[in-house]
Structure 1
Amino acid sequence: MNEKRILFTGGGTAGHVMVNLAIIPVFQREGWKVDYIGSKNGIERELIGQLDNVTYHPISTGKLRRYFSKENFKDPFKVLNGTMQAYRIIGKTKPSVIFSKGGFVSVPVLAAAWMKRVPAVIHESDYTPGLANKLAIPFAKKVLATFPETITYLPEKKAEWIGAVVREQLFRGSRKQGLELANLKGKKPVLLIMGGSAGARRINQAVREQLDSLLKDFEIIHICGKGNVDESLKVEGYAQYDYVNKELSDLFAATDFVLSRAGANAIFEFLALKKPMLLIPLSREVSRGDQILNANSFKKQGYAQVLEEEDLTGDRLLEELKQLKASKHDMLKNMRNYESHQAKDKVIQVIKSASKK
């Protein structure tokens, strides 16, 4: 009997890995052998390395920048080299299907999959497809969308709306353990601040400028990004972390409100966990504007407030967070009306249907 084998890819940011982390254990429980292709030094290598029995294959990968850099001239060669590496890995591992979460490491993998005639499924989290997924879509058999509106941006014959895939373990957290972990008393509402896996300098700066004022209304858990912990701020009611993984479910359980960027995977997790949120999306100056679309979609549905980064000041942040507190009841009511579409089961079903028999 032939061994069932699946290959995953995706990386560059934590958001390009989280869905894979949710799905991989299901395939493992069903007896599938799991391989993962990622970059040599990306965050995906660290995250996937925490899973048992997943073989990680690093490849060369480029990055399409939105600014001039001499590195741009080298990247096509890196992608070509990565494609050749992925071609050899696919030839050696012989997966029956490939699942991609996006990021630039996925482009050479999907190109190699197409050359090897291995069916591939892409999951697009954002409101509009990212550049990496746009390049990879021609090589895929199926493209799954988180936002229903995304379907209009995808090839009709390949596209399917699937909803958001949320990690099961996030629902298993303990508020008591989360408060103890952060050394908080829980006598005030707990505000969780996240700037994405790389942190967010402007959010960190605005929060710390107004820390004394914020601590009058909240206890704060601040996940500020690697290298961004301020050791001089040893204040009661303020817990700092550069990055959190295993303890995240407990910290989420202790959380009453969220201040965050607007990456699709993260905000759908907050929605599933019923956490009222203030979103500060990445500006168009440093991104393609996908987080702005994500945030505005959530604002329209009454799940979040939105503060543009260009308008971010310490005073404005205080004002918005006070308004968030006042809007808690209405936001929770809207969130309770949100239906979970069992997206993870659907994604797994699509992957199995696409696999070579």
Structure 2
Amino acid sequence: MNKRTILLTGGGTAGHVSLNQALIPELLKMNFNVEYIGSKDGIESELIKDGHPEVAYHPIASGKLRRYFSMKNFTDPFRVGTGFFQALNVIRKTKPAAIFSKGGFVSVPVAMAGRAMSVPVIIHESDVTPGLANKIAMPFADHIFTVFTETLKHLPKEKSTCTGSVIRSELMEGSAEIGKELCKFDNDFPVLLVMGGSQGSAVINEAIRTNLTALLVEYNVIHLCGKGNVDDSLKNVPNYCQFEYVTSELPHLLHMTDFVVSRAGSNSIFEFLALKKPMLLIPLSKQQSRGDQILNAQLFKQQGFAHVVEEEDLSPERFFEEMKKLHLHEELLVENMTLAEPPKTAYEMAKLVTSYTKKK
């Protein structure tokens, strides 16, 4: 008997791929064939091809939908149109029972093509307010899942459900011992994990490195600094471990971590919440984004899960003050996180997705 196919899409950032990565093994266990539509050179290409060789990857043209003036705004609609016809071709060949979209610009032509081919399209929105790509794709969707209940007021009631966060199983299976082997720390100081997203954050990197001497008196520091941002002059500093970007190592690093400094992408902060890691969030500013990370961070602050400092207010001095406060309030933050609603498993989310598959 031929397996039915689930077609996944999403890309542009790691946050638009990680849930799909969590769903792949669960869908395979449920005896589905899994294939992926992504951009030709986006981060999803690397993550899916390298991490999931069992999944056929179909690259399509992908334009970027900008909120600011750019000459590319006049040419990229043609790339989206090209992507639409390429996605149509993939759908005709694979005959999927459903399409699951995690968002990002590459997902727009896929959702449009899915509707044109009468394939059920399921969208997942992680942030408090829908991103521009998902806003455009939503009219073509059969159902929309959200992480935050607050998101539902921005969506059509008749086809929207809040599932809460979804945590990949391997995150809970990390080993602090393996993490210690990776970092080679030689003392029992608390571990501070710093991450600024897959591309890194110049402002966070500067705050860490300016305060590094003082931080290393109290902490072992793991610094995920982004591609091309490793400082070679600091490579041999004791108790300071730099990575450009990690994938399979992250669960091990998180399990050995006591405190986190991070941007406020939805996937990451819910992973910190699931592992009950006190966090200082420095959301991406409105000058660089639509403000979604600011909303994510403020909701976590209101619920007592995190401390927050806006990027514009961050200085090396302010950063060190905030770290002192985070350490002081560690027990209260952990207690609040213990009371949070438990996340869904990837298996539970896969069951929800497959419930919308087209019948044979």
Do both proteins adopt the same fold according to a TM-score greater than 0.5, normalized to the shorter chain?
yes
- Give the Å deviation of 1:339: 2.0
In structure 1, what is the Cα distance between the partners aligned to 2:141 and 2:306? 33
Structure 2 counterpart of 1:30, which letter? Answer: M
> What residue number does 2:185 align with?
184
> What residue number does 2:126 align with?
125
- Give the Å deviation of 1:206: 1.3
- Give the Å deviation of 1:64: 1.5
Q: Kindly provide the CA deviation profile for residues 274-300 of structure 1, in whole angstroms up to 9, marking residues without a partner as x.
A: 100000000001100000000000000
**What TM-score do the two structures reach when normalised by structure 2?**
0.97
Give the conservation status (yes or no) of the 8 Å contact 1:10–1:17.
yes
Q: For 1:343-354, what aligned pairs fall within 5 Å after superposition?
A: 344-354=346-356
Give the conservation status (yes or no) of the 8 Å contact 1:223–1:242.
yes
Q: Kindly provide the CA deviation profile for residues 221-259 of structure 1, in whole angstroms up to 9, marking residues without a partner as x.
A: 000000000000121010000011111111111100000
2:44 maps to 1:48: no
In structure 2, what is the Cα distance between the partners aligned to 1:187 and 1:341? 31
2:227 maps to 1:219: no
In structure 1, what is the Cα distance between the partners aligned to 2:2 and 2:246? 39
Give the conservation status (yes or no) of the 8 Å contact 2:167–2:343.
no
Q: Which moved more, 1:260-269 or 1:207-216?
A: 207-216
Relative to structure 1, is the Cα distance of residues 32 and 314 closer, same or farther in structure 2, using a 3 angstrom cutoff? same
Structure 1 counterpart of 2:31, which letter? Answer: G
In structure 2, what is the Cα distance between the partners aligned to 1:175 and 1:343? 22
Structure 1 counterpart of 2:242, which letter? Answer: Q
> What residue number does 1:326 align with?
328
Q: Aligned-pair RMSD on alpha carbons?
A: 1.0
> What residue number does 1:284 align with?
286
Give the conservation status (yes or no) of the 8 Å contact 2:168–2:345.
no
Structure 2 counterpart of 1:335, which letter? Answer: M
2:117 maps to 1:116: yes
Q: Kindly provide the CA deviation profile for residues 105-129 of structure 1, in whole angstroms up to 9, marking residues without a partner as x.
A: 0000000000000001001000110
Q: For 1:214-293, what aligned pairs fall within 5 Å after superposition?
A: 214-233=215-234, 234-293=236-295
In structure 2, what is the Cα distance between the partners aligned to 1:3 and 1:175? 39
Secondary structure of the 1:240 match is strand
- Give the Å deviation of 1:186: 4.4
In structure 2, what is the Cα distance between the partners aligned to 1:282 and 1:184? 30
Relative to structure 1, is the Cα distance of residues 343 and 122 closer, same or farther in structure 2, using a 3 angstrom cutoff? farther
2:171 maps to 1:206: no
Give the conservation status (yes or no) of the 8 Å contact 2:298–2:308.
yes
Structure 2: gaps spanning 5 or more residues: none
> What residue number does 1:5 align with?
5
Give the conservation status (yes or no) of the 8 Å contact 1:162–1:343.
no
> What residue number does 2:196 align with?
195
Q: How many matched pairs?
A: 357
> What residue number does 2:155 align with?
154
- Give the Å deviation of 1:311: 0.4
- Give the Å deviation of 1:341: 4.4
In structure 1, what is the Cα distance between the partners aligned to 2:288 and 2:128? 17
> What residue number does 1:79 align with?
80
